[in-house]
Structure 1
Amino acid sequence: MALEPGRSPGFLLWHVTLRWQREIAAVLAPLDLTHVQFVLLATTWWLNSHGQSPNQLSLAGAAGTDVKMTSQVLRRLEDKGLIQRQVDRSDTRARLLRVTERGGQLAQEAIEAVEAADRAFFGSTTDSALISTLRRLAGHDPD
């Protein structure tokens, strides 16, 4: 039996996701970043700040993005002077990713803007139950 759209979790999630993506796009536009550029820049910055120099494949895995799309977006971030790709000495086919100084500053500014947008969007619903549910649905918890 089909549920009414307003009672369908998938339908509601679709609408919530679209609304949230519009909010995030709006806060990233003044920074000249698309949402996916932000995700890849922020993930690279986070990994770099934790002593890692990811390659395209490991970055795509960490960010949850398609490898080919990741490559295209990384080229754009490199063109903007936000990341550098260096040949991996242990595998010359791979490129290690490092955020530039400018990229690191922009990543931190964008993270602050996105986190503020998240607080405004989700409000008081960022409690542990919601986070727990989202982590489980995203496959980040073993349960």
Structure 2
Amino acid sequence: MALTPGESPGFLLWHATLRWQRGITAALAPLGLTHVQFVLLACTWWLNGQGEHPNQQTLAKQAGTDVKMTSQVVRTLEQKGLVAREVDPADTRAKRLRVTEAGAALAPRAIAAVEQVDAEFFRPVPREDAVTLLSRLAHPDHPDHPEA
């Protein structure tokens, strides 16, 4: 028996994702960031805060983004003065990333804006339920999941 669109988890996820993305886009626009720029800036800022100066490959892995696209977006963040790329002393072919003073000031503001959108978007669902479901969907083979 065929599912109606309202009974299809994939179709509902599609619509939910579109609504969430519209909220994120609207929240980040006044800050001059796209969603991908935000994710890469926030990940770099967070990693720097952990004492790490990641290369683009490490950043892409952390963010879950394509390495080539990460390189292009990092270049844009560099042009905006939010991220600096520095030669890695251990491997002169690699570039280490660090947020600039401007990037360090913008990242927490952008994170707060995105967290506000998330809080409103996920308000109808208990936080623990949302995190559990999305974690299982994002990482189905994780050993903490009983079905893995």
TM range (shorter): over 0.9
CA change 1:32–1:139 in 2 (3 A) is same
What corresponds to 1:85 in structure 2?
85
Kindly provide the amino acid, as one letter, of the partner of residue 68 in structure 2: K
Partner of 1:122: 122
Match of 1:3 in 2: 3
Q: How many residue pairs are counted as aligned between the two chains? A: 143
Q: What do the CA deviations read for 1:5-64 (whole angstroms, capped 9, x no partner)?
A: 111111110110011000000000000000000000000000000111110000000000
**Displacement of 1:87 after TM fit?**
0.6
Which residue pairs with 1:12 in the alignment? 12
Distance 1:67 1:5, change over 3 A: same
* Gaps in structure 1 of 5+ consecutive residues: none
Alpha-carbon distance in 2 for matches of 1:101, 1:8: 46
TM value normalised by structure 2: 0.93
Q: Could you state the TM-score of these two structures normalised by the residue count of structure 1?
A: 0.96
Q: Which 4+ residue blocks in structure 1 deviate beyond 4 angstroms?
A: none
Calculate the aligned-residue CA RMSD, in Å. 1.1
Question: Which residue identity does 2:38 align to in structure 1?
Answer: F
The aligned residue for residue 24 of structure 1 is 24
- The equivalent residue for 1:46 is 46
1:73 aligns with 2:63: no
Distance of 1:127 and 1:96 partners within structure 2:
35
Is it true that 1:37 corresponds to 2:21 in the alignment?
no
Identity score, percent: 64
* Structure 2: unaligned runs, 5 residues or longer: none
8 Å CA contact 2:122, 2:130 repeated in 1: no
Report how far residue 3 of structure 1 moved.
Answer: 1.2
Alignment partner, residue 58 of structure 2: 58
Distance (Å, rounded) in 1 between the aligned partners of 2:112 and 2:10: 29
Shifted more, 57-66 versus 128-137: the winner is: 128-137
Shift of 1:115: 0.3
